[in-house]
A and B are shown apart, each in its own frame.
Chain A
Amino acid sequence: MAVRVNMSVKGKEYPPFAVTVERGKIKEFARAIGDLSPFYLDDSVGRASAWGDIIAPPTFPVTFRHEAASSETLLSDLGVDISRLLHGEQEFEHFKPIRPGETYLVRTRVTDIYEKTGKSGPMAFVVRESTVTDGDNDIVTVIRHITVVRL
């Protein structure tokens, strides 16, 4: 039975959510990747650095999640099951370092949905963009995310 995605999700904006970065979460994330740089893990190295504290690894914003703007919400909007999902592409554009104790605002929008047939069959590509801003309302990171739905 062919799977269809709800194309009307294109353009949808999810409610903005705030996230406060925890020091321990940065360390847990770096260790899960096996990246043991002291700039992520050692508070004294962080204090002596140009940033005055530890900072987060480049892919850390993937931890910025909220139930109202989650993959589960996207799945129910699209009308598809989690077992059909693959991660297609991911990009982070960084303007400022992500620091422990800071609170960030995350705004996510579905910028495009298109269908294509690849060598493993028909697929839908769902493009999301999230903008992460800090307390000064500066853009810290822009995240671009392509989810593939096996149809």
Chain B
Amino acid sequence: MKYATVYFEDVEVGHEMPPLVKGPIQQIQLTRYAGASGDFNPIHQDAAFAKAAGMGDVFAHGMLSMGFVAQSVTDWLGVGAVRRIGVRFAALVRLGDVVTCRGKVVGKRPAKEGGQGLDLVDLEIWAENQKGEKVVTGRATVALVSRW
């Protein structure tokens, strides 16, 4: 169930994140993201500008894709749980693309005895387009609560 509490004991190395599918990407979403984020680079809005810059056509803000990836993590493991999220923008996301965010658990770091520190889960995260090409790759660390 979306937004249910996931406990540290509920996840194991190798567990896969439920995929989050976003898109197809439309120009209006890029315009909306520009306004919300303050990134008004015309390369995301103006096809003639993007063409003159040698990019063929407009493409999505990398940060929009990172927002999708972050949402896939918080949908699964909880809002407020993300301690670290880092990504590389591997390929451009174009208009009409469908972006699927995926991930898996690659590590668990229990808090020290006596309740010091946090129970941490490390994830490999990525997003791919409808052709299966990775557009974002990265890692996240999430703090979960323990059942005990």
Contacts and interface: CB of A to CB of B under 8 A. Distances in A.
A37 interface: yes
A149 interface: no
B53 A62 contact: no
Contacts of B53: 83-84
Nearest to A142: B84
A47 interface: no
A1 interface: no
Interface stretch (A4-12, A86-94, A103-111): A86-94
B84 A92 contact: yes
Interface in A71-130: 71, 82-95, 97
B32 interface: yes
A83 B35 contact: no
Contact of A39 (B38, B68, B79, B83): B79
A121 B68 CA distance: 29
B74 A57 contact: yes
Chain A contact surface mostly: mixed
A138 interface: no
Given A55-B80, A90-B62, A91-B85, A32 B70 contact: no
A17 B29 CA distance: 29
B6 interface: no
A65 B22 CA distance: 27
Given A32-B37, A58-B85, A62-B39, A87 B63 contact: yes
B120 to A, nearest CB: 13
A71 B44 CA distance: 15
B87 interface: yes
Contacts of B35: 28, 32
Interface in A127-148: 144
A122 to B, nearest CB: 14
Nearest to A97: B80
Interface string A32-63: 11110111100000000011000101110011
B11 to A, nearest CB: 18
Interface of A: 25, 28-29, 31-35, 37-40, 50-51, 55, 57-59, 62-63, 65, 71, 82-95, 97, 144, 150
Interface of B: 3, 22, 29, 32-33, 35-39, 41-43, 49, 52-54, 61-64, 66-68, 70-71, 73-75, 79-80, 82-89
27 contacts: A29-B37, A31-B36, A32-B29, A32-B33, A32-B35, A32-B64, A33-B36, A33-B68, A37-B75, A39-B79, A57-B70, A57-B71, A57-B74, A58-B74, A59-B66, A62-B38, A65-B38, A82-B42, A83-B53, A83-B54, A87-B61, A88-B89, A89-B86, A90-B63, A90-B89, A91-B87, A92-B82
